[in-house]
Chain A
Amino acid sequence: MAKDYLNVIERALMMGISDKINTDVTGDIHVYGHFPSTEDVKFPAVIVQLVSTGFDEQFFGQNSTFGAAGTSGTGEVYGTAYAVHILIDKDTEITISGNKYKQRRLLNWMMLNIANYVVDIDWSVYEEEELEVLDRGLDSWNDIGFLEEFEWYGATAQFMLHFKNHRT
């Protein structure tokens, strides 16, 4: 049977972003695997949303080896795409390197640093089971703006990842 890759990767991605970004700031940045309900939401919020996943490329003869032990089995390259959203309330304030960051200044800092974290993430620290992540990449941040109804600053980026979907 194949491992529970999608849940393992999704959780690792969320924990990786949260761990890295909260190490660099004073104050809490909250990471969610869904759009939080009203009684749950705290700012700044980072929302990791799985938007698509599927088969990408088959290995010759479907044979694959996996992990440090080199286990033989069947497999293919599987792809996943996530939308990563940032939401910052107008009054939210976070201290970074001794400076107070708010609003668009905080949004700019978070966009660049989340991009850094997701490409630098060490999967072996956050995964619950062994993975072979083949490549990953964060596309450009889009929809950077201000929602006047809620008084939220926000941005969205697509994050792509390919892993070896191995099963024995």
Chain B
Amino acid sequence: MVNNVKLGTINMPKLMRNLSNRTRQVRDLVFHRDAIYSKAVGTKKDADGSPGAGGGRTTDLAGPAVSFGYETSTNTTQATGTDQAYHLSTPALHLPGLTALQSPVISRSGKLEQSGHRITGACTFYLPSLDYIRALDNFSETTQFDEIETYDKLLDIERVIINPDDYTGTTASKVYTFSDKQPGYEIDRVQFKIKTSGTLDYILLTGNEDSSATTLKWDGNLALSSSVFTTIDLPITDIVASDTTLVYKDGVASTFTAAVTGSFNINKLYGDSNNELSSLTIALTGSASVELKDIYLYKSAEWRVENIKDYRDEYIEIGALRLRGERTSLRRANG
């Protein structure tokens, strides 16, 4: 709950709370910003007359570092030094809990391309004022978030495919078993809210692909709150072993790493007895009291911020584009 923030004459948060009882156009979004990697620079020359050999590039170039114009794959904090420019580690931001009123312009527009089909769309999001957003959980606690920028992404739950029941009890792992022949190909991500005195250990999805067992396990170690719900939101499609994703709690990122058995291609789980999604397990490191709610395995829509109208204390109007949509029927057909 946000306190001590001017809500403006419109009081956008209250307006959205009231509207959310009447329309599902009030959306619960996940804010996403890609990681920023350090820049490739040159600071040394190879003055020993043995190019590609000898002592290598060891002599200082005159003047400032030369910026080559592309990023490295490094995201660690670094000081200025040999072929290094100052860089503060800036991992991806992935912050659930941003509520917005969505006004679609084009929900889905198809374009046939050389070898496939692309779904695009456009919409307007109305968000509370920036002061209000900056006071939200996670947003207020990380120093990485200052304002909404163009090219930021807003992930929406376009359609809930599986919605397991809420759970309250004491357990080390809660297993949700799905009905027989449960298809998975529509699912992009899994999201749930959890409150527990324990520590989240892993999230496991199991299924059968061509009669063989296949699993995706997001493995981490995140101590959670027993008084406030934490939202966990993880990707499911196109994951290979050792991929990582970040889960934010109190503005601090925690890394979860993927472990895969079989090939785990959810697009191939089209929903017969040999190709099905079987279960979801949410496991703690030990038995503890736990509350789970709003558990969604969902098809996501990725909206990219294109333009921003900032009405100061009142609200923010964001023009967003959807550029990476897929046609679900092709996804099922081609795996």
Known: A18-B63, A19-B62, A23-B62. Is A128-B69 also a contact (CB below 8 A)?
no
- Asked whether, in the complex, the Cβ of B52 is within 8 Å of the Cβ of A15, the reply is no
B42 lies within 8 A of chain A by Cβ: yes
Binds B, one of A30-38, A55-63, A108-116, A146-154: A30-38
Binds A, one of B43-51, B180-188, B302-310, B313-321: B43-51
B5 lies within 8 A of chain A by Cβ: no
- Asked whether, in the complex, the Cβ of B67 is within 8 Å of the Cβ of A15, the reply is no
Known: A127-B51, A128-B51. Is A30-B64 also a contact (CB below 8 A)?
yes
The interface residues of chain B, by DSSP majority, are classed as: loop
- Asked whether, in the complex, the Cβ of A19 is within 8 Å of the Cβ of B61, the reply is yes
Among residues 56 to 79 in chain B, which have CB atoms less than 8 Å away from a CB atom of chain A?
57, 61-64, 66-70
Chain B interface category by residue count: 10 to 19
A14 lies within 8 A of chain B by Cβ: yes
| Residues in chain A near residue B66, CB distance under 8 A | 11, 14-15, 18, 31-33
Among candidates A32, A128, A131, residue contacting B67 with C-beta atoms closer than 8 Å: A32
Q: What separation, in Å, do the CA atoms of A34 and B45 have in the docked complex?
A: 21
Among residues 101 to 141 in chain A, which have CB atoms less than 8 Å away from a CB atom of chain B?
123-131
Q: Count residues of A near B (Cβ-Cβ below 8 Å).
A: 29
Interface centre among A10, A19, A23 (most CB of B within 10 A): A19
Among candidates A10, A11, A28, A36, residue contacting B64 with C-beta atoms closer than 8 Å: A28
Among candidates A34, A126, A127, residue contacting B69 with C-beta atoms closer than 8 Å: A34
| Residues in chain A near residue B42, CB distance under 8 A | 11, 14-15, 18
- Asked whether, in the complex, the Cβ of B51 is within 8 Å of the Cβ of A129, the reply is yes
Q: What separation, in Å, do the CA atoms of A11 and B42 have in the docked complex?
A: 8
- Asked whether, in the complex, the Cβ of A15 is within 8 Å of the Cβ of B64, the reply is no
A21 lies within 8 A of chain B by Cβ: yes
Closest Cβ of chain B to A3, distance in Å, is: 9
Closest chain A residue, CB of each to CB of B63: A22
Closest chain A residue, CB of each to CB of B85: A40
Among candidates B49, B62, B68, B70, residue contacting A124 with C-beta atoms closer than 8 Å: B49
- Asked whether, in the complex, the Cβ of A22 is within 8 Å of the Cβ of B51, the reply is no
A29 lies within 8 A of chain B by Cβ: yes
The interface bits of chain A over 4-20 (1 if a CB of B lies within 8 angstroms of the residue's CB, else 0) are 00000011001100111
Q: What separation, in Å, do the CA atoms of A129 and B143 have in the docked complex?
A: 42
Q: What separation, in Å, do the CA atoms of A54 and B69 have in the docked complex?
A: 21
Interface centre among B57, B66, B67, B70 (most CB of A within 10 A): B66
Known: A33-B69, A128-B52. Is A22-B64 also a contact (CB below 8 A)?
yes
Known: A28-B64, A127-B51, A130-B51. Is A15-B45 also a contact (CB below 8 A)?
yes
Closest Cβ of chain A to B226, distance in Å, is: 42
The interface bits of chain B over 10-51 (1 if a CB of A lies within 8 angstroms of the residue's CB, else 0) are 000000000000000000000000000000001001110101
Interface centre among A18, A30, A36, A131 (most CB of B within 10 A): A18
| Residues in chain B near residue A14, CB distance under 8 A | 42, 66, 68
| Residues in chain A near residue B47, CB distance under 8 A | 125
Among candidates B46, B52, B68, B70, residue contacting A125 with C-beta atoms closer than 8 Å: B46
- Asked whether, in the complex, the Cβ of B67 is within 8 Å of the Cβ of A33, the reply is yes
Q: What separation, in Å, do the CA atoms of A126 and B333 have in the docked complex?
A: 53
Closest Cβ of chain A to B239, distance in Å, is: 31
Closest chain A residue, CB of each to CB of B61: A19
Q: What separation, in Å, do the CA atoms of A8 and B284 have in the docked complex?
A: 51
Among candidates A29, A128, A131, residue contacting B63 with C-beta atoms closer than 8 Å: A29
Q: What separation, in Å, do the CA atoms of A124 and B46 have in the docked complex?
A: 8
Closest Cβ of chain A to B327, distance in Å, is: 35
Closest chain A residue, CB of each to CB of B50: A124
| Residues in chain B near residue A131, CB distance under 8 A | 51
| Residues in chain B near residue A31, CB distance under 8 A | 63, 66-67
- Asked whether, in the complex, the Cβ of A127 is within 8 Å of the Cβ of B63, the reply is no
The interface bits of chain B over 119-131 (1 if a CB of A lies within 8 angstroms of the residue's CB, else 0) are 0000000000000
| Residues in chain B near residue A126, CB distance under 8 A | 45-46
- Asked whether, in the complex, the Cβ of B67 is within 8 Å of the Cβ of A36, the reply is yes
| Residues in chain B near residue A18, CB distance under 8 A | 42, 61-64, 66
Residues of B within 8 A of A (CB): 42, 45-47, 49, 51-52, 57, 61-64, 66-70
Given A14-B66, A128-B46, A131-B51, 11 further pairs, Cβ under 8 A: A15-B61, A18-B63, A19-B62, A22-B62, A23-B62, A30-B63, A33-B66, A123-B51, A124-B49, A126-B45, A127-B46
Q: What are 8 A-B pairs with beta-carbon distances under 8 A? A: A11-B42, A18-B64, A19-B62, A31-B66, A34-B70, A42-B64, A125-B47, A128-B52
The 6 lowest CB-CB distance pairs between A and B, nearest first, are: A22-B63, A33-B69, A34-B69, A22-B62, A129-B52, A33-B68
